[in-house]
Amino acid sequence: MNRHHAFVIEAEAEEGIKVAQAWAGKELGMKVQGNPDVVVMKYGLLSVEDARRVAELAAGRAFAGETKVVIIAASRAYHEAQNALLKLFEEPPAGAYLFLIMPSLGGLLPTLRSRVQVLAQGAASRSSKQEISKSAEEFMKASKEKRSAMLKKLTSGRDEEEKRELREEAIAIINGIEAAAYDVGFTKPYIPELLEDIQVLRGHLYDRSAPVKMILEHLSLVIPKELGK
């Protein structure tokens, strides 16, 4: 039987790691705990350098036996980093099984997604339980003027590090709005369209050159007033 060697899991880091480890134990018969051939790598933001390190580690020989499992958990990944993983996920080294865990697959490049199998996906249940950040609550409740001030702050980074932190906050706002939308439920006709918008907008934020201000301005316009109550 032809077995997949590359997977993505839509989950928070710890939950996704457990899913990947359970799969390795069941499908590969591997002892997970204390096994040097089951490698877990955690990142907030997956960079190109991180992706290259993952590729180097996956290419190395297994310490025991012929099988190696590499689990990469990241809150998000730059498009450049995903491109750096394309060849690895398309043709994993012999005996290597790869797992990429992200809280949302909205920012996953179609070219990368086409090379993997989605092992677990529970966006609806996950998002309904997702904690809504304070900044997201403030953004939803804010007046038009207050939102403009928040947008100005989120796009005022003076250097790359500050810009990255502000982009993380922008993503937290989008994630919080998504969670609030799931809490409202699909009985409201505007929720599916809003969730589609969020998926697209969040995907753009994974690109470092994306215009954060324009993305959040659009989001500000499409948020139903009900979410701010």
- Predicted confidence at residue 128, as pLDDT, reads 39
Tokens (6 digits) for 35: 């096994």
Q: How much is the average pLDDT of 76-88?
A: 89
> Does 173 lie in the same domain as 101?
no
- The residue assigned the tokens 């709005």 is 177
Q: List pLDDT tens digits, range 85-141.
A: 999 998 889 999 999 998 877 778 878 888 888 885 444 344 434 567 888 889 988
> Does 99 lie in the same domain as 63?
yes
Domain membership flag for residue 170: yes
Closest CA to 175 of 150, 205, 218, 154: 205
> Does 200 lie in the same domain as 113?
no
Answer yes or no: is pLDDT of 72 > 90. yes
> Does 117 lie in the same domain as 146?
no
Taking the CB of residue 226, how many other CB atoms lie within 10 A of it? 13
> Does 132 lie in the same domain as 47?
no
Domain membership flag for residue 206: yes
- Predicted confidence at residue 228, as pLDDT, reads 64
DSSP assignment of 44-99 equals: EEE-HHHHHHHHHHHHSPPSSSS-EEEEEEEEEE-HHHHHHHHHHHHSPPTTEEEE
Q: How much is the average pLDDT of 143-168?
A: 84
For the chain, what is the domain count?
Answer: 2
- CATH at residue 117: 3.40.50.300
Parent domain of 213: 127-228
> Does 153 lie in the same domain as 98?
no
φ, ψ of residue 75 to 5 degrees: the values are -70, -30
Cα 175 from Cα 183, distance rounded (Å) = 12
Do the strands 38-46 and 117-121 form a parallel or antiparallel pair, or are they unpaired?
unpaired
Cα 52 from Cα 45, distance rounded (Å) = 14
Q: List pLDDT tens digits, range 28-41.
A: 999 888 899 999 99
Domain membership flag for residue 1: no
Side-chain-side CA neighbours of residue 68 (13 Å): 21
> Does 141 lie in the same domain as 112?
no
Q: Is 181 helix (H, G, I), strand (E, B) or coil?
A: helix
CB-neighbour burial class of residue 147 (10 A; exposed 0-12, middle 13-18, buried 19+): buried
Which DSSP letter does residue 36 get?
A: T
> Does 133 lie in the same domain as 100?
no
Tokens (6 digits) for 189: 């006709």
Domain membership flag for residue 157: yes
> Which of 105, 121, 137 represents a domain boundary (last residue)?
121
> Does 224 lie in the same domain as 170?
yes
- Predicted confidence at residue 42, as pLDDT, reads 94
Amino acid at 213: K
- Which of 6-15, 130-139, 170-179, 219-228 is modeled with the greatest confidence? 6-15
Q: How much is the average pLDDT of 147-166?
A: 84
> Which of 86, 121, 156 represents a domain boundary (last residue)?
121
Domain membership flag for residue 57: yes
> Does 110 lie in the same domain as 15?
yes
Q: How much is the average pLDDT of 135-164?
A: 86
> Does 72 lie in the same domain as 135?
no
Q: List pLDDT tens digits, range 157-215.
A: 788 788 878 888 888 888 888 888 877 776 778 887 888 788 778 777 767 677 878 88
> Which of 89, 121, 153 represents a domain boundary (last residue)?
121
- The residue assigned the tokens 């998000």 is 76
> Does 148 lie in the same domain as 50?
no
Domain membership flag for residue 178: yes
